[in-house]
Structures are given as structure tokens and as C-alpha cells.
Chain A
Amino acid sequence: MASKRFILKRLLLLVPVLFGVATFVFVILHLASGDPARVILGQRAPQQQVIQLRQELGLNDPVYVQYARFLVDAAQFDFGQSYSVAQGTAVRSVLADKIPVTLELALYGQAIGILLGIPLGVISAVEQDTLTDHFGRIGALSGISVPIYWSGPLLILAFSTFLGVFPASGRIESTIFLADSWSLFGVTLPLTGMLTVDTLLLGNVSAWVSAVMHLILPAATIGIYSMALISRMMRSSMLEVVRQDYMRTARAKGQGSKITIMKHGFRNALVPVITVIGIQFGSLLGGAVLTETVFGIEGIGTILVSAINANDYPLVQGTVLTFALLFTLVNLLVDVTYSYLDPRIQQ
């Protein structure tokens, strides 16, 4: 069992890291070349106006005052308003809109990766050094060598442009309009922002089908990469476990090899794989940025790219901090799960 002390310790260790992350994000604004006031007002605005806006934004205050203000605001997840990409909208509400989009994509991709990667890894390990294993290994290695911004376009070319099975971009048919909220027993509730969930909540089956059809290619793009990573890890972890003494004991007791592998091997081999799944979630978020760009999905990744292009610093800061926070929390979750599965780690 994961002890409270262990979780508390991990949470305390998180504080300096998050503090460092926030500091780094603050630094982005101050090291970047453009003057925020200039960015907001445009190149042709009179100097007088720029000076005035700098004053209003508090950019003339000493750096430590700005830093303190930023930390207080960031702790409340308040990054101010977007300069240009989502002009005038609070960064917080832009993020609230876009995070579910990216999360939905990443979760489905991860699900594909786990569901296919774990069995493939187990098969490869059980059939070690057979033809199946060789194919599995080379396939997995190729899977992690293929960049998402290549596998994505190839999938679009094959299944969308030439076969016409799936749509090439977007999240749902443009003719479908969804309500803003749904109600349960007369109570109006907000939607999740994840279309595959929302369409079900609204009871709109044709919209759900459309959302799923739009999600299949992008999720598969991420899933292929994730599957390759997970199956590699699962294979080597299985091979490691199979050599342990308790496996031999189980076999010596007369247990069949298949049962031994599944009962004792699989469970123990899964432990390190969980860590990899967690660590990999980071590259998955990076992958989501690329996938969104390829498939024209308006998520937090495409927003970040537009924000950097437009020098929209509050939006860049908010997005980057969100990504780091998500990543850090997932890692924390992984550590806690790991300590639950393998209590030795707590020492």
C-alpha cells in the first residue's frame, strides 16, 4: 500500500519543481525579444500609446515586483488576456476550451498504444528469438523511428485521400451543431469538451459517429508510436521477470508454462511498464502538438504554435505551464501507482 508519508513526501518534492517551472515561464516573457505593448498595439501605434500601455500592464515595475505578481497570478491560474490569437479572451478560458481537445486525443492514442502494445510485447517475449519475435521487435523499432508528422500524412493519404474512408481533418462534420449544455433529470450541466463524450451525453448518435470517425486517424497516429514504445518495454520487462527464481519455483511445482507466465510473469513485468507509460505521456503531449497540426485540430498544441508565431506571451506562458503541470501530475500519479504495486520503492 502506498503510505501517506510517501505521497506527502512526493508532493513536497513537487513544490520546488513547480516553483522552478513557474520561474522559467516568467522568464519566457522577459527574455523574448518583442515588447508586449508593441505586440498588442501593432507596429504602427504611436509611441505615446505604447508607453501608456506599458505602464498599465505593469511592465515598468521592478522585475521582482512583476515576478511576485506573476507567481501570485499563476498560482490562481490567471495569465491575463491573450494579446492576439484569441484577442481579449482570458487565457484561462482559452485553456479550459482547448485542454479537453488535446486530452481526448492523447487519451485515445494512449489507449490504442496500451491495448495493442502490451499483448504484442508479451507475445514477443514468450516467443523470444522466433520469427514472430523478430518481426515484433523490428516493427516496434520502426514504430518509434517514424515521426508523427510523417505517419500522420501517410495515413491521411491512404485512408482519406485515396480510400475516402475517414475524414482528413477537423473534429466533427462541419454541418453538425451541438448544444452548449446538457441536462440530467432537469438539471443543466456543462459539457466536457471531449466530442466523443459530449455527443453521447446529448444523445446525438450521428454526431457521435462523426466525432469517432474524425478521431480514428489522429488517435491511430499517436497510438502507433505509443504502441511501439510500450511493446518494447513490455518485452524486455517480461524477459527480465521470466529469469527470476520465483518463476522457476512455480514451474518446478508443476505449473504449466503458459499459466506461470500469465499469473506470475505478467503482473510483475507490468510494474516497470507503468513507469514507461507515464514518462511517455510527455512525448505523447508533444506528439499531440504535431498531430493537431497535421490533422487541423484546434487543441492546446495548435494554440501554442500560433501563440509563439504571434508573440502572444500570456497564451504561451499559460499553455507551457499547463503542459508542464499535466506532465508533472501524471508522473506523480505514476510514482504513487508504482509504490502501490511495488512497496519496496518507498524506501
Chain B
Amino acid sequence: MSTNTDQSTDDGALADRSLLDRLRSSQFLSNLLSNRLAIIGLTIILGMLAVAIIARVSYDLSALRASNLGTVGDRLAPGWAGSGGATQHLFGTDAAGRDIFKRTLYGAWIAIKYGTVTVAASTFLGVALGIIAAYYSDLTDNVIMRTMDVLLAFPSLLLALALVAIFGAGLWKVVIALTLVYTPRFARVVRGAALKVLEDEYIEATEALGATDARVLARHVFPNTLAPVTVQSTLNYGLAIIDFAALSFLGFGAAPGVPSWGLMLSNGVTNGLLTGKWWMSLFPGLFLAILVLGFNLLGDGMRDALDPRMREAVD
């Protein structure tokens, strides 16, 4: 390990550690970048983000929602899929004569937008609660973690449904419900990581030097929980997108006509399943699955990069 030159600050001796962390994180980054699957995952996510932004900029939401019955044929097959198809509709049309291609692309924007808010909010809440639970006394710890235990006693989609029963339907209400569903997972991970750091002697030393609670938590505990939290967030992103669409699929998320993937799939089941209108189900689901796969690939790669043992060959 290299020597530390910056001895002048009050916790200068501790800078050694952050240097070590920096080394470790660059190790993490190089592990990650050498992981081909993780790179594929990242590429998928960035590609989908580009699609989402382009769709958001070029399409008008109210036009996508409006019914075209009377002007455009309903449930037209894609033009390339044999005769009788609509050539100008790449993914065909739905039961209201709306273009599934445009709606599917716009769905990427909806999924990413609400998914990001959900993951960001539950990460923030979980980190705050987890750190507080780890740092403060038994009582605070117990109150927070037992509440988390109760929330974890429900299967996640069921808890989300129960919360929707309280809040009512709607995209933002679904975001709130899912945030509450995911927060306990983050709180658990963070509390575990924070407890491990708090055992280290240097925390005691910092406190002895007169650092405030806030400083210890922000400067020493929080940075050490970042790695596990990032992995958890990435893996949770995929789940958030699936659950978010699931609630729209069940009829509690997007309002009628909104091009959310979940709602489009629900329309596909109601209006196209028995009559064989496969394009209504295929395309929105395909985009959804690809995006989720992207997050899972990246999340897996990050986890492997954090714990390189898993990559070693068997002796």
C-alpha cells in the first residue's frame, strides 16, 4: 500500500482508508468493465434510454392515447407479417387502431421514468433508515427494523396491491406503493454494511477526535455502504419495472389509453389472445423483457465485480 502524504487534516490518518477504498473501487470498475455480460447489459440500458428519450421528444402523448377507430383499422397485423397487414404500422395496431410501434417506444419512457423515481426513492429512504438503525441505540434500531420485518412479511406484489387498496389507483400512487415495498430491502442491506463499518476502530477514533454524529455517518459510514447499495439498486431496477407494469396489467396503474407496457399487455390479453392477434402481446412484452434483462445483466456483473471469488475457475 502506498503511504499517505496528506497528514494535515484532523482525520488525516484515516485518509489511508479512503485511498484503499479508491483502489478497491477502481479494482471494482476494472472487474466490471472486463465483464462482457455487464457491458451488454449497460449497452441495452443506454440504448433503451435513447429510445425512450427519442419517443418522448417526437411523439405527443395525447395523440398516442386517442382512439383512431374509424380512420385506422383496429388490430391490424404488422405489414411484414404476411398479406393483409398494415405496411405503415411496423408492430401492427391495437383494438383502438393505435400504432403499437409508437406506443411501445413511448412505453420505454414511462417505464424508465417511473422506475427511476421508485428506485431512487426507495434507495434514499432505505439508506437513511438503515444507517440510522445501525448507528443509534437499541430502541431506534428495533423500531425501524421490526417495522421493516412486518413489511417484509408480505410477498412484494401482494404488499403493493394492499397499499394500492389504501391509496387508490394511478401511476404515481403505484410509485409510492412500490417505494414502500422496496425500502425494507435497502434498509436491511445498508444496516448490515453499516454495522460492519461501525465495528472498525477508526470510527471510535473519529468520535474521540470530536466528530459529530452527522459527520461520522455522512463521511465514514455512508461511503462504505455505497457498493452494496449500488448493486441492490441495479438488481431492484429490473424488479421495479416488472412490478410497475404488473400493477398496470392488473388495472391499478396507468389510466386507460396510456401507453404503459403493462396496460398494453393487458389489452393484448383481453382483445387479442383468443383471436391470435399475437403482435398486441409480443412487442410491448419483448421491450419490457429486454430492458429488465439489461438491468439484471448489469446487476449480476456488478455483484461479480464486488466479489471476484465467484469468477475464479474451479481448481
Contacts and interface: CB of A to CB of B under 8 A. Distances in A.
Interface of A: 16-18, 20-21, 23-25, 27-28, 31-33, 128-129, 138, 141-142, 144-147, 149-150, 153-154, 156-157, 161-162, 168, 236, 239-240, 242-243, 248, 282-283, 285-287, 289-290, 293-294, 304-305, 308-309, 313, 316, 320, 323-324, 327-328
Given A282-B156, A327-B153, A289 B250 contact: yes
Given A282-B155, A293-B249, A153 B289 contact: no
Contacts of A239: 310, 314
Q: Contact residue range for chain B?
A: 35 or more
B205 interface: no
A199 B14 CA distance: 71
B29 interface: no
Interface stretch (B94-102, B212-220, B270-278): B270-278
A242 B242 CA distance: 34
B153 A324 contact: yes
B39 interface: no
Contacts of B262: 149
Nearest to B265: A149
Contacts of B166: 27-28, 31-32
Contact of A304 (B161, B238, B290): B161
B158 A20 contact: no
A240 B245 CA distance: 35
Contact of A154 (B238, B251, B285, B310): B285
Given A150-B285, A153-B273, 20 more contacts: A16-B149, A20-B153, A28-B162, A141-B296, A146-B285, A147-B246, A147-B289, A149-B266, A157-B278, A157-B281, A239-B310, A239-B314, A282-B154, A282-B158, A283-B155, A286-B156, A290-B249, A305-B161, A316-B162, A320-B154
B281 A154 contact: yes
B281 to A, nearest CB: 4
Query: Interface centre among B146, B156, B289, B314, by most A CB within 10 Å?
Result: B314
B314 A153 contact: no
Interface string B276-294: 1010011001101110110
B161 A144 contact: no
Interface in B160-179: 161-162, 164-166, 168
A16 B310 CA distance: 37
A31 B162 CA distance: 11
Contact of A289 (B161, B242, B297, B309): B161
